[in-house]
Amino acid sequence: MSQLKLSNVEVGFGRQTIVDGVSFYLGEGEIGCLLGPSGCGKTTLLRAIAGFEPVTSGRIELNEQLVSSPGQHIPPEKRGIGMVFQDFALFPHLTVFENVAFGIRNQSTEEQRQRVNLLLSHVGLAGYGPRYPHQLSGGQQQRIALARALAPKPRLLLMDEPFSSLDAELRETLAAQVRNLLKEEGITALLVTHDQQEAFAMADRAGVMYHGRLLQWDTPYGLYHRPAHHLVADFIGVGVLLHGFVTDDLQVDTALGLLRGDEVVGGTEGESVDVLIRPDDIVIDDTAERRAKIVARGFRGAHFLYTAELADGSHLLCMAPSHHQYDIGEDVGLRLNLDHLVLFPSGFCDT
């Protein structure tokens, strides 16, 4: 059963369309994520799902009930949705305990105590109940806002950049904890972020938005390994597009030579294509026959990310452990580690 279903949803302000024909669904207990650059429409879409923005076209259904359409608009407070805002929106005159318990004031004192203490423990702030929001850091306030939204066990939880104030290590840890908590309680959730690692840590399904359109809705694995659009490939992970031609036996002839994977995703015989090459598709191997010249490198801690130039001037990205360093201008061998080929028609595909 679909817990959340969007069908051709459009949201606009005046003559400007902000969200353009978006469709996707989340099953009960699934965690979804909307990714995309700033200004792509993902927060506006989240607000439309919450009921803060009307839709100009399409339908939003929650638990198979129509909640938004041009002729129907159920107000936010009647949708049974929890929401975590970027600006936290905590009540400054209430303690941390009172903030978290705000949505469950109809429960007994003991039920409130147990629920609040459980959530504070889950977000790493056990014992902070008597404090006030002004006594907390921004990251701590963000975690309290998350606990408050979870307290009533909403049927749908919406999160707008919920970990943006946290440092990288705490963000990853808390994302995993929140995912486990949502799964344990069976809460369906939709997260908005521009951080793909955050999305990968949280989401069962994810989508990339660009200029108001949803380019692809898939598993995180599918977005990375089988992007449906140039822009998805560009936004998710890193890589380059290498020009080539599909041969009659479904190999691709490129500056790297004939490429072949276990499967070919996109492209037909004789077509001029761009092949997506990720850094993990290329292994620097001094004994390999394919040669390239190192033209740039970036230190990434456990590894270096190198830019290698082929004989025709094409550039590739490849990685090597940081204890084995190559110099700029050095000639290296490249070994392919491709198990499938992702192809796009040559040239940039506009949305």
What the block records as the tokens of 312 is 């025709």
Tens of pLDDT, residue by residue, the chain (351 residues) = 568 999 999 999 988 999 999 999 999 999 999 999 989 999 999 999 999 999 999 999 999 999 999 999 999 999 999 998 877 789 999 999 999 999 999 999 999 999 999 999 988 899 999 999 999 988 888 889 889 999 999 989 999 988 877 777 778 777 888 898 889 888 999 999 988 888 888 999 999 999 999 999 999 999 998 999 989 998 998 899 999 999 877 789 999 988 887 766 677 788 899 999 999 999 999 899 999 999 999 998 899 999 999 999 999 999 988 888 899 999 999 999 888 888 888 875 544
CA distances in angstroms from 31 to 40, 124, 191, 216, 290, listed in the order given: 21, 21, 8, 16, 43
Distance CA 267, CA 346 (A): 10
pTM (predicted TM-score): 0.86
- Give the residue extent of every domain in the chain: 2-233, 238-345
The helix (H) or strand (E) run that includes residue 265 is strand 263-265
Distance CA 259, CA 281 (A): 11
Distance CA 119, CA 136 (A): 17
Distance CA 216, CA 109 (A): 46
DSSP 242: E
Degrees, nearest 5: CA angle 220-269-291: 70
Distance CA 95, CA 303 (A): 45
Q: What does CATH list as the number for 2-233?
A: 3.40.50.300
The helix (H) or strand (E) run that includes residue 215 is strand 213-218
Contact between 124 and 179 (Cβ < 8 Å): no
- The predicted structure's pLDDT at residue 265: 67
What the block records as the tokens of 157 is 């939880």
Surface-to-core class of residue 306, CB atoms within 10 Å of its CB (0-12 exposed, 13-18 middle, 19+ buried): buried
CA distances in angstroms from 350 to 31, 223, 243, 338, listed in the order given: 29, 18, 18, 27
Distance CA 69, CA 84 (A): 24
What the block records as the tokens of 186 is 């069976």
Q: What does CATH list as the number for 238-345?
A: 2.40.50.140
- The predicted structure's pLDDT at residue 351: 46
What the block records as the tokens of 75 is 């107000």
Indicate the residue type of 231. L
